[in-house]
């Protein structure tokens, strides 16, 4: 029997490309579907790439059929929270409606396994700062809501069909492939470590630090930063779990401890060997002071064993990628 293939939507983007890299290293047959609006052709290396939209059901159906897809890993999405507030329908259209179209195609073509890229933004503002999978979901922006609506559709389809799924709720993803082959190349990036690395490299003049009066040890927000390669490994573990007969489930993907903004910036300065320009700004509305994963369940259910849980290592990999981009820019 021919080996079935894995379809990775958004596989030319930051997280998706790291998952594609690990899938290929494991000997999986992989096909990437990406619009290349925010992704990069270089990020997929030599993996087969179909350029198109996830919401194009005819195209998706053809890809599923022609490549014998039995597993879909769905990353394609808009992810900028402030933009989602300014333009909510863009996010409901691309993140929610396109996911509905993708799920329809999966149901029609007998896809068995689905791994969904979700977010800690589904939790909103937490009383304790620690989010478990059973914590009440109450997103405070259209980005988080668009992802939660997609979770609901996936849950309901799985209940009504043979499809089984793993939903992974990411916390703060950072870093780049330790081998330097791919990395975070996002244009006009907003993630803290990426932005700080760009400042250190002179690509930006300064960085804005929003909020210095939070009830945290140093007054700045605390987040759970996870290396993108560890996150990618969690997706491969989710695939193995589903292929082994695992039931549909939702899991947090973080390390279970956090660092403050000041601690992150100090790590960037250590790695860069110089100070970076930081502007202290007022708090942004809706930013929680503390957001960290309760991350025991993913280890228990998937047997996930992160290997890169070290802030300095995360930062060094980010800076190394920025240096490579400076020498060899991606178009």
**Active-site residue list:** 143
**DSSP single-letter state for residue 79:** -
SS3 content of the chain, % helix, strand, coil (to 5): 40, 20, 40
Judged on CB neighbours under 10 Å (0-12, 13-18, 19+), 28 is middle
121-132: b or e for each residue (b if 16 or more CB lie within 10 Å)?
bbbbebeebbbe
Q: Measuring CA to CA, how many Å separate 30 from each of 47, 178, 220, 272?
A: 7, 21, 41, 36
138-159: b or e for each residue (b if 16 or more CB lie within 10 Å)?
ebbbbbbbbbbbbbebbeebbe
Lookup result for tokens 């396109």: 98
Q: Which of 176, 166, 155, 149 is nearest to 14 (CA)?
A: 176
Distance CA 288, CA 211 (A): 10
β 5-9/278-281 pair status = unpaired
Lookup result for tokens 């470590």: 193
Distance CA 325, CA 152 (A): 38
């Amino acid at each position: 029997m021919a080996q079935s293939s894995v379809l990775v939507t958004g596989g030319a983007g930051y997280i998706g490309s790291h998952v594609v890299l690990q899938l290929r290293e494991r000997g999986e047959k992989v096909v990437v579907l990406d619009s290349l609006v925010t992704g990069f052709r270089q990020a997929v290396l030599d993996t087969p790439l179909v350029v198109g939209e996830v919401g194009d059901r005819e195209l998706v159906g053809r890809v599923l059929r022609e490549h014998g897809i039995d597993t879909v890993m769905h990353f394609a999405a808009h992810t900028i929270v402030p933009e989602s507030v300014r333009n909510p329908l863009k996010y409901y259209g691309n993140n929610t409606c396109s996911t509905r179209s993708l799920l329809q195609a999966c149901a029609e073509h007998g896809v068995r396994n689905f791994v969904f890229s979700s977010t800690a933004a589904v939790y909103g503002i937490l009383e304790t700062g620690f989010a478990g999978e059973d914590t009440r979901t109450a997103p405070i922006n259209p980005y988080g809501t668009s992802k939660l609506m997609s979770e609901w559709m996936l849950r309901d389809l799985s209940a009504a069909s043979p499809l089984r799924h793993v939903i992974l709720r990411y916390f703060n993803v950072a870093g780049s492939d330790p081998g330097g082959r791919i990395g975070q190349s996002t244009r006009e990036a907003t993630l803290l470590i990426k932005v700080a690395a760009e400042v250190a490299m002179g690509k930006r003049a300064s960085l804005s630090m929003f909020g210095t009066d939070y009830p945290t040890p140093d007054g700045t927000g605390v987040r759970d930063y996870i290396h993108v390669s560890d996150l990618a490994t969690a997706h491969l573990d989710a695939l193995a779990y589903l292929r082994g007969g695992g039931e549909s489930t939702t899991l947090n993907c973080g390390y279970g401890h956090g660092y403050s903004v000041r601690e992150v910036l100090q790590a960037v300065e250590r790695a860069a060997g110089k100070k970076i320009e930081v502007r202290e700004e007022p708090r942004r509305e809706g930013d929680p002071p503390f957001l960290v994963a309760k991350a025991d369940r993913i280890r228990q259910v998937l047997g996930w064993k992160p290997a890169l849980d070290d802030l300095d290592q995360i930062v060094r990999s980010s800076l190394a990628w920025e240096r490579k981009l400076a020498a060899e820019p991606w178009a």
